[in-house]
C-alpha cells in the first residue's frame, strides 16, 4: 500500500458546520485496508474472544481468529484459562481445526504428533529422546496475553499489550462517566440465556458506526422506539456521557412489546432502573445494559465485507435455571439486530459506488462517529 492510497478521503473542508465527512467508500471494501486493520487494530489491542463459561471444565477449548492469527483458548487442569497461537512449533501446522471442543489433557498436532499440554508446554514428540540437545521448554506454543473481565476472555496478541484499564475499561468509563457504573450489573455472574449468531455482509466499521448513532432509530426500530421513546428523536444513549435512555411511562420491561421483563439484577441502582445504556468498546464489542439483563455483542471480522456477530443475552442464573420465558426479552434486541444489520448490508453494497468514492456525511447527532474514524485512521497510519 502506498502512502497516497492510504490518505483519508474525508470531504471535511468544504462542508457546512453542521456536517462532518465520513471515511470514503473504499475503507469498507479494500482488502489492503482490511489487512492494515487486522495488523494494526485487531492484532495490537485487546480482543474479546470467548465467554469464559463456554469453556467451564479442564480441557475445554475454543479456537478464535484474531486478525490473521488463529488462537486456542483452553481451560487448564488448574482451572485457569490460557491462550496460545494455534501454530505447531515443529513445521507450523494448524494444530486445532475445530471451533470448539474438549481434550483430555493435551493437544496433538495431526501432522507429526508433537503434543502440547493445556498450558502450551511441549509434552512429547516422536523420537525426542534421540535429540538430547533439544530442550522441550524451548518449544512450547506461543502464549497470548489474557485478561478475564465481565465473564469474557480478552486476548491481546501484541508483545507489549496496551493498558487494559486505559483501553477496554477506558471506553466503558468514557461512555458511562465512571468505571463503577457497570459494576452493579454483575456481568461476570450472569448466565447465558440465549445466543444468536449473525453473519453480516458488511465491513465491521459499518456495524460499529450503526451502533454509535440513533439517527436511524425512529426509522428502522419501531419496537425499540416504543420502549425508549427518546430514541424516536434520534439521540442515542451513546451521545451523552452517563446518560441511560428512559423506558416509556407505560412500558413495564425491556421486551418486544413492553411487557414485564425478568428479575432485576440486585446491584442495579435505582438511578439505573428503567434505563438502557449502550457502550461501544473498540474495536469489536457492544455492551447493552438494562435492569434485568445484559446484551453483549462480539464482532469477528472475517473479510473486508463480512463480519460474524455473536450476540449473548445474559440473565441472573436463577432466571435461566428456572426456565423462565425469556422469549419476549430476547426478541426485542434480536429484532434490533436484524434491523441494524440489514441497514449495514444496505450501505455496504454502495461502498464501491462512484457516488460514495469521497464518502458521505455525518449529521450533528452522528458527529462522534467522526472520532471513531479518526481513531481508525490513527491506528492504521
Binding letters toward ligand FES, positions 5-44, x by CB under 6 A: ----------------------------------------
Judged by CB under 6 A, which of 90, 328, 358, 368 binds ligand FES? 90
Binding letters toward ligand FES, positions 225-244, x by CB under 6 A: --------------------
Residue 91 touches which of ligand FES, Fe ion, none (Cβ within 5-8 Å per kind): ligand FES
Interface with ligand FES (CB under 6 A), residue total 9
* Residue 49 beta carbon to ligand FES: minimum distance, rounded to whole angstroms: 23
The nearer residue to Fe ion, 230 or 340, going by C-beta atoms, is 340
Instruction: Extract the C-alpha cell encoding 134.
Output: 533439544
Q: Is 112 in the site for ligand FES (CB under 6 A)?
A: yes
DSSP state at residue 98 = S
Choices 86-94, 167-175, 258-266, 316-324; region in contact with ligand FES by CB under 6 A: 86-94
The nearer residue to ligand FES, 128 or 246, going by C-beta atoms, is 128
Choices 105-113, 313-321, 323-331, 343-351; region in contact with ligand FES by CB under 6 A: 105-113
d(Cα 300, Cα 124) in Å, to the nearest integer? Answer: 34
Local structure of 307: helix, strand or coil: strand
Helical segments of the chain, H only: 3-6, 31-37, 164, 170-176, 204-212, 217-220, 222-227, 317-321, 327-348, 367-380
Residue 112 touches which of ligand FES, Fe ion, none (Cβ within 5-8 Å per kind): ligand FES
Choices 19-27, 106-114, 219-227, 307-315; region in contact with ligand FES by CB under 6 A: 106-114
Cβ burial of 74 (10 Å; 0-12, 13-18, 19+) is buried
Angle (CA) 252-256-260 rounded to 5° is 25
Total residue length of the chain: 381
Sheet with 100-102, side-by-side order of all strands? 46-51, 152-156, 143-149, 81-85, 69-75, 60-66, 100-102
Whether residue 59 contacts residue 104, with contact meaning beta carbons closer than 8 Å, is answered with yes
Residue 305 touches which of Fe ion, ligand FES, none (Cβ within 5-8 Å per kind): none
Closest CB to Fe ion: residue number: 340
Report how far apart the first and last C-alpha atoms of the chain are (Å, whole number).
11
Judged by CB under 6 A, which of 27, 114, 154, 247 binds ligand FES? 114
Residue 340 touches which of Fe ion, ligand FES, none (Cβ within 5-8 Å per kind): Fe ion
Choices 66-74, 107-115, 161-169, 287-295; region in contact with ligand FES by CB under 6 A: 107-115
Local structure of 279: helix, strand or coil: strand
Judged by CB under 6 A, which of 68, 77, 91, 105 binds ligand FES? 91
Compute CA distances 157 → 51, 71, 117, 160, 281, whole Å. Answer: 18, 9, 20, 9, 17
Judged by CB under 6 A, which of 77, 99, 102, 111 binds ligand FES? 111
Whether residue 43 contacts residue 34, with contact meaning beta carbons closer than 8 Å, is answered with no
DSSP string over 13-74: GGS-TT-EE---GGGGT-HHHHHHHIIIIITTSEEEEEEGGGS-STTEEEEEEETTEEEEEE
Residues in contact with Fe ion by CB under 5 A are 340
d(Cα 30, Cα 174) in Å, to the nearest integer? Answer: 31
* Residue 74 beta carbon to ligand FES: minimum distance, rounded to whole angstroms: 17
Residue 90 touches which of Fe ion, ligand FES, none (Cβ within 5-8 Å per kind): ligand FES
Q: Is 106 in the site for ligand FES (CB under 6 A)?
A: no
Residue 207 touches which of ligand FES, Fe ion, none (Cβ within 5-8 Å per kind): none
Nearest CA-CA partner of 47 in 210, 198, 158: 158
d(Cα 265, Cα 280) in Å, to the nearest integer? Answer: 21
The nearer residue to Fe ion, 28 or 116, going by C-beta atoms, is 28
Judged by CB under 6 A, which of 36, 40, 53, 93 binds ligand FES? 93
Which spans of this chain sit near ligand FES (rule: CB under 6 A)? 88, 90-91, 93, 109, 111-114
Amino acid at each position: 500500500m502506498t502512502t497516497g492510497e492510504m490518505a483519508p478521503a474525508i470531504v471535511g473542508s468544504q462542508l457546512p458546520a453542521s456536517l462532518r465527512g465520513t471515511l470514503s467508500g473504499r475503507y469498507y471494501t479494500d482488502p489492503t485496508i482490511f489487512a492494515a486493520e487486522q495488523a494494526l487494530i485487531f492484532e495490537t489491542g485487546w480482543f474479546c474472544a470467548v465467554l469464559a463459561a463456554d469453556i467451564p471444565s479442564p480441557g475445554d477449548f475454543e479456537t478464535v481468529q484474531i486478525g490473521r492469527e488463529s488462537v486456542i483458548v483452553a481451560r487448564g487442569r488448574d482451572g485457569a484459562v490460557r491462550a496460545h497461537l494455534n501454530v505447531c512449533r515443529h513445521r507450523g501446522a494448524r494444530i486445532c481445526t475445530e471451533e470448539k471442543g474438549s481434550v483430555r489433557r493435551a493437544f496433538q498436532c495431526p501432522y507429526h504428533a508433537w503434543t502440547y499440554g493445556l498450558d502450551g508446554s511441549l509434552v512429547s514428540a516422536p523420537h525426542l529422546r534421540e535429540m538430547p540437545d533439544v530442550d522441550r521448554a524451548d518449544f512450547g506454543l506461543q502464549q497470548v496475553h489474557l485478561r478475564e473481565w465481565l465473564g469474557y476472555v480478552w486476548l491481546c496478541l501484541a508483545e507489549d499489550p496496551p493498558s487494559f484499564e486505559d483501553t477496554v475499561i477506558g471506553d466503558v468509563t468514557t461512555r458511562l462517566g465512571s468505571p463503577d457504573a457497570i459494576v452493579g450489573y454483575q456481568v461476570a455472574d450472569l448466565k447465558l440465556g440465549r445466543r444468536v449468531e449473525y453473519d453480516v455482509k458488511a465491513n465491521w466499521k459499518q456495524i460499529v458506526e450503526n451502533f454509535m448513532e440513533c439517527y436511524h432509530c425512529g426509522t428502522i426500530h419501531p419496537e425499540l422506539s416504543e420502549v425508549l421513546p427518546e430514541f424516536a428523536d434520534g439521540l442515542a444513549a451513546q451521545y451523552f456521557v452517563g446518560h441511560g435512555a428512559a423506558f416509556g411511562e407505560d412500558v413495564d420491561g425491556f421486551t418486544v412489546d413492553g411487557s414485564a421483563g425478568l428479575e432485576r439484577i440486585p446491584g442495579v441502582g435505582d438511578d439505573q432502573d428503567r434505563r438502557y445504556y449502550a457502550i461501544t468498546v473498540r474495536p469489536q464489542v457492544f455492551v447493552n445494559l438494562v435492569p434485568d439483563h445484559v446484551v453483549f455483542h462480539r464482532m469477528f471480522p472475517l473479510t473486508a465485507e463480512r463480519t460474524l456477530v455473536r450476540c449473548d443475552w445474559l440473565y441472573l442464573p436463577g432466571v435461566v435455571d428456572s426456565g423462565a420465558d425469556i422469549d419476549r426479552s430476547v426478541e426485542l434486541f434480536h429484532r434490533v439486530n436484524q434491523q441494524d444489520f440489514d441497514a449495514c448490508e444496505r450501505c455496504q453494497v454502495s461502498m464501491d459506488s462512484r457516488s460514495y468514492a469521497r464518502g458521505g456525511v455525518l449529521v450533528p447527532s452522528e458527529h462522534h462517529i467522526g472520532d471513531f474514524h479518526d481513531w481508525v485512521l490513527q491506528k492504521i497510519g
